[in-house]
Amino acid sequence: MNGVRTSQEAVSVSLEDLRRDAVPFETLDHAFGPSSLGILIVRDLPSKFADLRLRVLSYASYLANLPPDDLEKLSCPTAKYLVGWSHGKEALKSGHYDTHKGSYYVNCAFYQDSSLQSTPSDDFPNFPEYTAPNIWPPETILPGFRKTLEELCNLINDTALLVARACDRYASAKIEDYEEGYLERVVKTSMTTKARLLHYFPPEPSVTSSISTPPTLNSDEDDDSWCATHVDHGCLTGLTSALYVDESTTPPTLPPSSANRPAPSTPESIPSLTTLPNSPDPLAGLYIHSRTSHTTKVTIPPDCLAFQTGEALEVITQGKFRAVPHFVRGPRPGIGQVGKVARNTLAVFTQPNLGEIIHSEVGTTFAEFARGVVRRHT
């Protein structure tokens, strides 16, 4: 996909218009149609969103900089590191393992029932990637982390429900035999929705600075130094804008944990980090391969959420809804003369329940589909 690179604003709609089913059909076509980017920005979110985003994405840096022993306790090898902390476990197309970012995975079954921390395992006893319970850091290590992350995930799921309803309106008019209300039902009833809190580590300094021959938006090759080109394998992905932190000036470190330290008597949270208004390198960030094969840099405003379609929805609709290939480009060494710049974001992947049929002709369930995805990347 070697189309011309452009920088483009994605289609945006207000939360209130989604609630009132008042988004014009033309707008949905611009967001998801054959010449679109396949992404929709939602603005005018609840007032608490900005603070939740700042706190959760600050936690990502604190989490990634915990001592190795603490991170090991937050990992789940039996779930192939798709629950809890994961770093250097994801296989890339090159056959190498991705060490550029760390991930913290959370099953969002609590959106259905606050007491649930995983997909029920009754019918899928050998699928710990989805059925293993969440692993939360003790309050003595990251006070307030669980409560804050669950609250933001629930807000994103609430918004995804409205976006799904709008997608259903568009699909019902454009896709023959589309099941009415399908995507809204998936988001509303899913026990498999998974969140991924991402920390992109500051790039290592390069011996040869790229300042002398800086790449441009019209470069032919993807510079996916922070995250390789991929598609999400769920139905609809909710994504926050990235938070950039210079960890050389605001180190995200906490005092060493102690088993003897009492847990706080009331909910607490750690200080939010001082952030950069954007990446010091204007070419760094999220890129999408559009439906017309152009490579486009997409900017998500910090007070908004973005939603894009994934691979499972492409299978379900027999290619009518296309998954969105995307990658993340890291900052070039020396650009902006800023020290150790990390990038944090949160993605929430809404997905069908494990037993749901997603390919009617061959009877493929989402569990079978997801196992194939896991095999490709672990």
Task: Tell whether the model's pLDDT for residue 17 goes beyond 70.
Answer: yes
In contact, 196 and 105? CB cutoff 8 Å: yes
pLDDT of 15: 98
- Rounded-to-integer distance, Cα 170 and Cα 283, Å: 33
E-assigned strands of 158-226? 194-200
Length of the chain in residues, anyone?
Answer: 378
For residue 296, which phi and psi values (nearest 5 degrees)? Answer: -125, 130
- Rounded-to-integer distance, Cα 140 and Cα 262, Å: 7
Buried-state track 3-42, b at ≥16 Cβ within 10 A, e below 16: eebeeeebbbbebebbeeeebeeebbbebbeeebbbbbbb
Q: Both tokens of residue 150?
A: 């669950």
For residue 220, which phi and psi values (nearest 5 degrees)? Answer: -75, -30
Mean pLDDT along residues 130-146: 94
pLDDT of 320: 77
Average pLDDT, the chain: 83
The total of other beta-carbon atoms located within 10 Å of residue 158's CB is: 15
Specify the 3-state DSSP secondary structure of 369: helix
Range scoring the smallest mean pLDDT among 239-243, 288-292, 346-350: 288-292
pLDDT of 341: 85
Whole-angstrom CA distances from 36 to 71, 321, 345 are 40, 11, 24
pLDDT of 4: 41
Specify the 3-state DSSP secondary structure of 329: strand
Burial of 273: CB neighbours in 10 Å, binned 0-12, 13-18, 19+: buried
Range scoring the smallest mean pLDDT among 167-171, 256-260, 288-292, 310-314: 256-260
Mean pLDDT along residues 67-81: 95
H or E segment to which residue 228 belongs: strand 227-230
pLDDT of 92: 60
pTM higher than 0.95 for the full model?
no
pLDDT of 306: 96
Higher pLDDT, 20 or 178: 20
- Rounded-to-integer distance, Cα 32 and Cα 27, Å: 9
